[in-house]
């Protein structure tokens, strides 16, 4: 029997949360949602509204587009997540990260 859409989305949210080493409580706080809402989303027992999804994306520090792109592909989109993370940083920090990445990859 195929896994329901809600359960697949919940598993995707759990994967993103765990990749960030967040507890459900920490994600709830960052998302301005209740812990119960996070638990129900992860179990697939709750179909979140757009406002809830926006809060969830904020708490996970990803754009809504990245949240759904990763879900649609069935795996995390690391490049999109990096871009989302860098979008929250200062221009100076982005330039520093760029220099470090170039140095690491140009060595090989």
User: Is 98 part of a structural domain of the chain?
Assistant: no
More confident call, 76 vs 49? 49
- 18 vs 99: CA distance, rounded Å: 28
Q: What is the CATH number of the domain that holds 46?
A: 1.10.260.40
User: Is 85 part of a structural domain of the chain?
Assistant: no
User: Is 63 part of a structural domain of the chain?
Assistant: yes
User: Is 90 part of a structural domain of the chain?
Assistant: no
Quickly list H helices, the chain. 5-19, 24-31, 35-43, 50-60, 64-73, 78-86, 91-107
User: Is 88 part of a structural domain of the chain?
Assistant: no
The predicted structure's pLDDT at residue 18 = 95
User: Is 52 part of a structural domain of the chain?
Assistant: yes
- Long-range contacts of residues 91-97, Cβ cutoff 8 Å, at least 24 apart: none
User: Is 95 part of a structural domain of the chain?
Assistant: no
pLDDT category, 4, cuts 50, 70, 90?
confident
Looking at the structure of the chain, the number of domains it has is 1
The answer, yes or no, to whether residue 9 has pLDDT greater than 70, is: yes
Full domain range(s) for residue 70: 5-76
Task: Classify 108 as helix, strand or coil.
Answer: coil
State pLDDT tens for residues 25-52. 999 999 999 999 999 999 999 889 999 9
């Amino acid at each position: 029997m195929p896994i329901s859409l809600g359960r697949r989305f919940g598993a995707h949210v759990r994967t993103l949360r765990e990749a960030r080493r967040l507890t459900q409580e920490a994600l709830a706080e960052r998302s301005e949602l209740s812990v119960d809402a996070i638990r129900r989303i992860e179990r697939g027992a709750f179909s979140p509204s757009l406002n809830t999804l926006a809060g969830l994306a904020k708490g996970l520090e990803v754009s809504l587009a990245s949240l759904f792109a990763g879900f649609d592909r069935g795996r995390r989109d690391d490049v999109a997540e990096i871009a989302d993370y860098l979008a929250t940083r200062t221009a100076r920090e982005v330039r520093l990260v760029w220099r470090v990445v170039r140095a690491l990859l140009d060595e090989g």
